[in-house]
Chain A
């Protein structure tokens, strides 16, 4: 078994050979070691192997030090799993171009574990941020793992929500597993590895290249049971994920937005095309058959604790961010008073400042 690992790693790392071909080779030969031992003529005898591919495999052998590379992989602390392994996530096997191997740091999801993908725009609004975070948190409390792509914006807020809710979360990367992309997400990267796994089909060291990202989206949708698109513009990577999910027969939900919000166009379009609509997280949970952890009436409870003027200000908050000036206009209170109340609510942890003098409900 241990012996086979180095051959498998070698097979994973060969570039220019498609996932389908690799899988076919493994099925044909039995194991990666057998493939390694094949001669060029033998390879060419296999139906479906072209001369170019045979060359790549032979060349790949020459420039590859089996022992050294395998040691290097272990030294990086990266785990590898291939389709031959028992623990290879079975949900991926249905994919026609199922990756031959996966690299990961952390712990892969169980076979029966329920997983939901929270995806959306990188440059999201704070409305999207709120929704993504809340979804992450609520899924965590319902014991559902959150899958996403660790990109900036919605993806990372979904992950963070799950992390704050002490739930499981899995990030599928579009680059080498040892590369943290975006660079600023270092903290998130480590947290995800602790509370789930960072997963990639690309071997360590693979640079983030544009085409790899849409490709990894098929894994996001394949991993999860349902997918929720939080915010997406007209052209968005999240819509690609949704397309994959459709092909794979997963349930798709979209968070609706206002007509004139460019960031909600993609979502509203999805709904028009038949995706489920997230009218509220409680409603979503009811639809999914999760009844044991509804939000209840938290806002109502809070409202009872507030003074009259505080209540006036707090009632102005919905899922959208409010500027302090808007609140002054809405409540007709003096600016100084509103500033005071806002800070009181902030310190109570009921609202937060998302940007200078912009506030949103927590």
Chain B
């Protein structure tokens, strides 16, 4: 007797259909599984046999063969238990074969026959919808996530017996998915109006967000660098539906999607600790999982204490920052994860953190230079805006909160600047000013005669590099966009110069 069941694996951010074939025929009693299986899938044999037994099904003394195909795809993950069990039951004739048509099954089962949740449900259901599969049978716990995709019938099952009953003809009754309300801590609104003082940093932040420029804050400990970084996602433009789905998929395959019953609405804010490994940052493992740069997709990756990160770790971000995605190549194939994030970094000016306040800072000049020099140059090259955040004084601390500008107001200005950019770059594939290639500088960052003369002076006076000069132009372009003017004026250039990266003399 033969049967076939459809299931799926997650492959990168996408999912692929896998078929499970079961055959029960005469021969020596053996339970054989083939089809390029990883060890957790091989273990399914023991789980399925015991679970079936505990649910009252006795396997006959026959030759049972399971095949998973296409055989060239490495099968990994724990979602194969349930389809294998169902395929065996169908092959034994316990379930009608036509009950399994146009149905996708995925789930892990315990020895008692309980169905356990799996990761990556969102991409699986999305793929099922594309493939025209009508019904997905999934673990009950995953129901919330699966329901995010409409147009597909979802059955959430708690145990094997319940499932066989449905497949034998019992009507499925819609179950209420589990919703876990966002805890107070998660839903806490972080708003720029919480920050007293630091007007310059806030302004620089606004410019950085408007042109999606990578951003570095330098300042003593306790000057509010982290607080500001946390509030950046709040002034980024709202996410489109596609962006929400994409980022939700990433969180789904990591098992990190909150069960709120909606796609992720808030742009991610990731702040990995500086002890993070290369794999943790870029993504890794035998079957690569997305790293922090992908979890920060469409949001903010915040690296606090930048010089403390291992240089080699930061180096891996270079290519993803250009390509806005990372490709991890493994024996089983290439895994592509999006990584389009805004880099926000913070650091102290020296070891003790108080330079240039010489009354507190006792670091030697050479030590300060060494400390600053720890940052990878190529990474620094990708940072357009740099600002010093000083310790705030008492007057600022006690200032009335109502005077501070709320995030919503800042966001409005940002969005106006973003739409100006979209207008300008329509059809070019560029989204933000920070992405303007050097060959197009003249087109997009055109300077008038007066401005050119002024920048020439500045170029010589500040001993700028070519790269540094272009960065200033791009930032000035963004500032002009925020200002709502097409022409870059001297005041825009001036402000951009003020935000330029720390002078070369400090990095050597």
Complex Cα spacing A123 to B365, Å: 8
Given A321-B356, A357-B387, is A336 in contact with B495 using a C-beta cutoff of 8 Å?
A: yes
The reply on A342 being an interface residue by CB < 8 A is: yes
Complex Cα spacing A126 to B358, Å: 8
Category for how many chain B residues contact A: 35 or more
The reply on B260 being an interface residue by CB < 8 A is: no
Contact B396 A184 (CB under 8 A): no
Digit string of A318-348 for contact with B (CB within 8 Å is 1, else 0)?
A: 0001011110110000111011111110010
Contact B203 A336 (CB under 8 A): yes
Contact B200 A339 (CB under 8 A): yes
Residue in B203, B357, B494 whose CB lies within 8 Å of A335: B203
Contact A356 B349 (CB under 8 A): yes
Q: Which of A84-92, A94-102, A256-264, A300-308 contacts B (4 or more CB under 8 A)?
A: A256-264
Q: Which of B80-88, B294-302, B420-428, B498-506 contacts A (4 or more CB under 8 A)?
A: B498-506
The reply on B491 being an interface residue by CB < 8 A is: yes
Residue in A124, A260, A262, A338 whose CB lies within 8 Å of B200: A338
Contact A329 B356 (CB under 8 A): no
Identify the closest chain A residue to B200 (Cβ): A335
Kindly list chain B residues whose C-beta atoms are within 8 Å of the C-beta of A126.
356, 358
Main secondary structure of the interface of A (DSSP, over half): helix
Contact B395 A125 (CB under 8 A): no
Identify the closest chain B residue to A337 (Cβ): B491
Contact B200 A325 (CB under 8 A): yes
Complex Cα spacing A152 to B358, Å: 14
Q: By the criterion of a CB under 8 Å from any partner CB, how many residues of chain A are at the interface?
A: 37
Contact B200 A324 (CB under 8 A): yes
Closest chain-B Cβ to A204's Cβ sits at a distance in Å of 25
The reply on B389 being an interface residue by CB < 8 A is: yes
Contact B358 A124 (CB under 8 A): yes
Identify the closest chain A residue to B493 (Cβ): A343
Contact B200 A355 (CB under 8 A): no
The reply on B279 being an interface residue by CB < 8 A is: no
Closest chain-A Cβ to B464's Cβ sits at a distance in Å of 13
B window 343-359: CB within 8 A of A: 349, 355-359
Identify the closest chain B residue to A343 (Cβ): B494
Contact A355 B355 (CB under 8 A): yes
Contact A328 B199 (CB under 8 A): yes
Closest chain-B Cβ to A345's Cβ sits at a distance in Å of 10
Kindly list chain B residues whose C-beta atoms are within 8 Å of the C-beta of A335.
199-200, 202-204
The reply on A166 being an interface residue by CB < 8 A is: no
The reply on B364 being an interface residue by CB < 8 A is: yes
Digit string of B383-418 for contact with A (CB within 8 Å is 1, else 0)?
A: 000111110110110000000000000000000000
Contact A357 B388 (CB under 8 A): yes
Complex Cα spacing A263 to B357, Å: 10
Complex Cα spacing A122 to B365, Å: 9
Contact B355 A340 (CB under 8 A): no
Kindly list chain B residues whose C-beta atoms are within 8 Å of the C-beta of A354.
356
Kindly list chain A residues whose C-beta atoms are within 8 Å of the C-beta of B356.
125-126, 321, 354-355, 358
Kindly list chain B residues whose C-beta atoms are within 8 Å of the C-beta of A128.
358
Complex Cα spacing A126 to B199, Å: 24
Complex Cα spacing A266 to B392, Å: 28
Closest chain-B Cβ to A239's Cβ sits at a distance in Å of 17
Contact A324 B388 (CB under 8 A): yes
Contact B218 A339 (CB under 8 A): no
Closest chain-A Cβ to B375's Cβ sits at a distance in Å of 13
Kindly list chain A residues whose C-beta atoms are within 8 Å of the C-beta of B461.
347
Complex Cα spacing A335 to B202, Å: 9
Complex Cα spacing A268 to B279, Å: 56
Given A324-B498, A343-B497, is A184 in contact with B390 using a C-beta cutoff of 8 Å?
A: no
Digit string of A120-163 for contact with B (CB within 8 Å is 1, else 0)?
A: 01111110100000000000000000000000100000000000
The reply on B68 being an interface residue by CB < 8 A is: no
Given A325-B199, A355-B349, is A152 in contact with B495 using a C-beta cutoff of 8 Å?
A: no
Complex Cα spacing A292 to B194, Å: 56
Contact B358 A328 (CB under 8 A): no
Given A339-B200, A343-B498, is A329 in contact with B393 using a C-beta cutoff of 8 Å?
A: yes
B window 120-178: CB within 8 A of A: none
Complex Cα spacing A123 to B350, Å: 13
Contact A325 B390 (CB under 8 A): yes
Complex Cα spacing A128 to B359, Å: 11
Given A184-B366, A339-B499, is A325 in contact with B506 using a C-beta cutoff of 8 Å?
A: no
Given A326-B390, A339-B495, A340-B494, is A356 in contact with B359 using a C-beta cutoff of 8 Å?
A: no
Contact A261 B359 (CB under 8 A): yes
Given A125-B359, A343-B494, is A328 in contact with B349 using a C-beta cutoff of 8 Å?
A: no
Contact A123 B491 (CB under 8 A): no
Kindly list chain A residues whose C-beta atoms are within 8 Å of the C-beta of B393.
326, 329
Kindly list chain B residues whose C-beta atoms are within 8 Å of the C-beta of A125.
356-359
Contact B498 A342 (CB under 8 A): yes
Digit string of B366-391 for contact with A (CB within 8 Å is 1, else 0)?
A: 10000000000000000000111110
B window 478-500: CB within 8 A of A: 479, 491, 493-495, 497-499
Complex Cα spacing A260 to B201, Å: 28
Identify the closest chain B residue to A257 (Cβ): B359
Contact A323 B390 (CB under 8 A): yes
The reply on B457 being an interface residue by CB < 8 A is: yes
Identify the closest chain B residue to A121 (Cβ): B358
Kindly list chain B residues whose C-beta atoms are within 8 Å of the C-beta of A123.
358, 361-365
Complex Cα spacing A125 to B201, Å: 24
The reply on B290 being an interface residue by CB < 8 A is: no
The reply on B17 being an interface residue by CB < 8 A is: no
Contact B386 A356 (CB under 8 A): yes
Identify the closest chain B residue to A321 (Cβ): B356
The reply on B41 being an interface residue by CB < 8 A is: no
Complex Cα spacing A334 to B491, Å: 13
Complex Cα spacing A260 to B253, Å: 57
Kindly list chain B residues whose C-beta atoms are within 8 Å of the C-beta of A340.
491, 494-495, 498
Task: Other than A124-B358, A343-B497, A347-B454, give 9 A-B pairs with Cβ distance below 8 A.
Answer: A123-B361, A123-B365, A326-B390, A335-B203, A336-B491, A336-B495, A344-B494, A356-B386, A357-B200
20 CB < 8 A contacts A-B: A123-B363, A124-B358, A184-B365, A262-B359, A325-B200, A329-B197, A334-B199, A336-B479, A336-B495, A340-B491, A342-B494, A343-B495, A343-B497, A347-B454, A347-B458, A347-B461, A356-B386, A356-B387, A356-B502, A356-B503
Q: List residues of A whose CB falls within 8 A of some B CB.
A: 121-126, 128, 152, 184, 260-263, 321, 323-326, 328-329, 334-336, 338-344, 347, 353-358
Q: List residues of B whose CB falls within 8 A of some A CB.
A: 197-204, 218, 349, 355-359, 361-366, 386-390, 392-393, 395-396, 454, 457-458, 461, 479, 491, 493-495, 497-499, 502-503, 506
Which 6 interchain pairs have the tightest Cβ spacing?
A: A357-B388, A343-B494, A335-B203, A339-B498, A125-B358, A340-B494
